[in-house]
Amino acid sequence: MAHIQVPEDVPGIRSLVMFRPETGKPLYDLAQVLLRGESPLTQAERELIAAYVSNRNETMFCMMSHAAASRHLYGNDKNIVDDVLKDLQHSQVSDKLKALLNIAGKVQILGKEVTEEDIADARKQGANDREIHDTVLIAAAFSMYNRYVDGLASFTPTDEKEYEAMGKRMAENGYVLPNNQK
């Protein structure tokens, strides 16, 4: 049960933003810009960074939903997502994305964990300033969303099918405040 009285049976962050739409709006706007706005990283890659950080934070709700969104966006290459979540180093992602995910993993621990070497390695694989910026901010933002969802013990569905539908909706419609949706 959630620590505060939020709408029942509404999963994860959706129940929290319905409780407090004043903060819900900028939280959803930030997710929309970060994960759907302009970036040299594809939407599938950005969702994968979100799922990777959420997995490290052991936040089931965010991990399952963003992994599902990433799989949907990767289409035929959807196996990449589970490969990365299982074992980043031996996964089939590009060396550049591997280097960026390494940075995201450092940010998940704490900002200062990111070293000059981590950045140099990403640059060597072709990452530019914008890609490094977006990676760090996605990882930082999910260090927030994960804590918000778990810190208030919001409802986490256990049925994988439910996440598949959620991921499809997130991939196709983006991040829209729940009370704006029919």
Which residues are near another protein by CB under 8 A? Answer: 3-5, 16, 19-20, 22-23, 25-27, 29-30, 33-34, 37-38, 57-59, 103, 106-107, 110-112, 114, 116, 119, 129, 132-133, 136-137, 139-141, 143-153
Q: Which two tokens stand for residue 13?
A: 């962050």
Residue (79 or 147) nearer to another protein, CB: 147
114 C-beta neighbours (distance < 10 Å), count = 21
Residue (129 or 172) nearer to another protein, CB: 129
Residue (32 or 92) nearer to another protein, CB: 32
State CA 163 to chain mean position distance: 14
Burial 146-167 (b: 16+ CB within 10 A, else e): bebbbebebbebeeeeebbebb
Least Å distance between CB 129 and another protein? Answer: 4
Q: Where are the alpha helices (DSSP H) in the chain?
A: 12-19, 21-36, 43-56, 60-74, 79-86, 95-109, 116-124, 129-151, 160-173
Residue (60 or 81) nearer to another protein, CB: 60
Least Å distance between CB 144 and another protein? Answer: 4
Give me the amino acid identity at 162: E
